[in-house]
Amino acid sequence: MEQYTTLSSVQQDIKAGKLHLGQLVDGFLQRIEETKHLNAFVEVYGEEAKAQAESINAKILNGTGGKLAGMVVGIKDLICYEGHTVSAGSRIIENYKSIFSSTVVERLLAEDAIIIGRQNCDEFAMGGSNENSYFGAVKNAADNTKVPGGSSGGSAVAVQAGLCMASLGTDTGGSVRQPAAFCGVVGLKPTYGRVSRHGIIAYASSFDQVGPIANSVEDAALLLEVIAGHDDFDSTSSQEVVPEYSKQLSFEGKKRIAYLPETLESEGLDPEVKALTEKVIRQLKAEGHTVEPISFPYLDYVVPTYYILTMAEASSNLARYDGVHYGYRSPNAVDLESTYKKSRSEGFGAEVKRRIMLGTFVLSAGHYDAFYGKAQKVRRLIAEKTHAILEDHDFILLPTTPGPAFGIGEKTDDPVTMYLADIFTVQASLAGIPAISLPVGETQTKLPLGVQLIGKRFGEVELFAFSKYFLDVTKKE
């Protein structure tokens, strides 16, 4: 089976009679079977996908197919789909069946996408390696001893390994972009408020956004176009009109791009990542763009600020899993107090418990001002500085990650090292602005590497168009 990297090529081949959508779905289902060891999917909706393929194939042929007709997607196990189990990678809601669909799922289905299954992720999206899943670690398809990144690890591997055409992940502090970089695919975190969070299991509500992971900028743009837009069920979703991203992908002209010297001098930056970023800067300059260093003095503060705020929000969001309202209840509980304590102790994994405790601590009366209040103020400073850079520049360019995919088990004993690895992704999250990871290289040992572009608030049109061009330019050498 040919590996399709864009939906338009699938639609073309179906119209030309060279392909039936059922064949494509069967091909994915077979690949999923053959690559079970990667652990990318928690559950596969094989029969449903095959049935949908029949009717959507007919629609493509008679010209009534939606924008995503022929697109076979997977969804992170955090995105509610009516009648389907959604577990958030956790024992605490292992068997929870969703009674409604998230807005993003409704919008996918309305445009004739086929949802092939739900994908493994870190428990409640907390992690950067997909090792915190109740369903076990996910393996990077480029090297099975390496992590795929996280928390949307299953979603990135599924695209990398050809198990579906695209995925929907969620990105709170890098969970779409970082696994995209580790797996050699495209991943976008939209502007905060661009996509409805209705029906997305919450981690940190002032950060969470759904984002596409795909083989091409075209498909990522098309997916965002479909899922974005105001939703009455999410008051933080923006009223801003949704442009047709997929039709505005041509790029011309010269751009002003900032890079942050602190990122390239940062401790722990892998030499191959540094070399790649510098090479990309040279290539863009050679194309006539202005690419200049702009100091960002807050780099050391982005990780602590991000973790204080997200843990605080998580401790509040996860209070609902109490052994009463949802999911797992400990069989050893004897009264109300032990129902809470035992259900939560047995139902949550170690990382989630660590974050709930730290989040509760930073919000507690005696520590609120010193931690939570302070972090709110620092978030404002980081956001304002970032916006100021983007007033004079079209984009900020920086590595997506400090290094390539690391070994499974390598960082699990040291949560702080794991947190520090988020240093380049959390800036855009704190500022609420869009950022994309683009696969532009690999290490000598053939591990994928990504470079990240941060755009202006609601600047996804420019970001996509430039990204497409950027991938062409960086392929030249």
Query: Looking at the annotation, which residues are catalytic?
Result: 76, 151, 175
Q: Is 151 in the site for ligand GLN (CB under 6 A)?
A: yes
Q: Is 450 in the site for ligand GLN (CB under 6 A)?
A: no
Torsion of CA 117, 121, 124, 125, to 10 degrees: -120
Among 42, 75, 126, 138, binds ligand GLN (CB under 6 A): 126
Residue nearer to ligand GLN on the CB measure, 35 or 175? 175
Using an 8 Å Cβ cutoff, are 251 and 223 in contact? no
In Å, what is the CA distance from 286 to each residue of 254, 279, 280, 281? 11, 10, 10, 9
Q: Is 133 in the site for ligand GLN (CB under 6 A)?
A: no
Q: Is 172 in the site for ligand GLN (CB under 6 A)?
A: yes
- Residue 342 is encoded by which pair of tokens? 């035992």
In Å, what is the CA distance from 305 to each residue of 249, 302, 429? 35, 5, 11
Among 27, 70, 174, 212, binds ligand GLN (CB under 6 A): 174
In sign, the C-alpha dihedral spanning 429, 244, 468, 392 is: negative
Q: Is 127 in the site for ligand GLN (CB under 6 A)?
A: yes
Q: Is 310 in the site for ligand GLN (CB under 6 A)?
A: yes
Q: Of 57-65, 168-176, 237-245, 322-330, which segment contacts ligand GLN by CB under 6 A?
A: 168-176
As measured in angstroms, the least distance from the Cβ of 126 to ligand GLN is 5
- Residue 283 is encoded by which pair of tokens? 């290539």
Among 65, 66, 89, 128, binds ligand GLN (CB under 6 A): 128
Q: Is 212 in the site for ligand GLN (CB under 6 A)?
A: no
Among 111, 123, 171, 219, binds ligand GLN (CB under 6 A): 171
- Residue 194 is encoded by which pair of tokens? 């661009």
Residue nearer to ligand GLN on the CB measure, 281 or 431? 431
Q: Is 200 in the site for ligand GLN (CB under 6 A)?
A: no
Q: Of 27-35, 41-49, 102-110, 124-132, which segment contacts ligand GLN by CB under 6 A?
A: 124-132
Q: Is 203 in the site for ligand GLN (CB under 6 A)?
A: yes
Residue facing ligand GLN at closest CB distance: 175
As measured in angstroms, the least distance from the Cβ of 314 to ligand GLN is 9
- Residue 203 is encoded by which pair of tokens? 């981690």
Sole residue written with tokens 């011309």 = 252
Q: Can you tell me the distance from the alpha carbon of 94 to that of 87, in angstroms, rounded to the nearest whole number?
A: 5
Q: Of 46-54, 155-163, 169-177, 192-200, which segment contacts ligand GLN by CB under 6 A?
A: 169-177
Residue nearer to ligand GLN on the CB measure, 172 or 283? 172
Residues contacting 44, CB < 8 A, separation 6+: 29, 32, 116, 117
Residue nearer to ligand GLN on the CB measure, 83 or 136? 136
Count of chain residues binding ligand GLN (CB under 6 A)? 13
Encode 167-190: b = buried (16+ Cβ within 10 Å), e = exposed. Answer: bbbbbbbbbbbbbbbbbbbbbbbb
Among 422, 427, 439, 467, binds ligand GLN (CB under 6 A): 422
Q: Is 111 in the site for ligand GLN (CB under 6 A)?
A: no
Q: Is 400 in the site for ligand GLN (CB under 6 A)?
A: no
Residues that bind ligand GLN (CB under 6 A): 125-128, 151, 171-175, 203, 310, 422
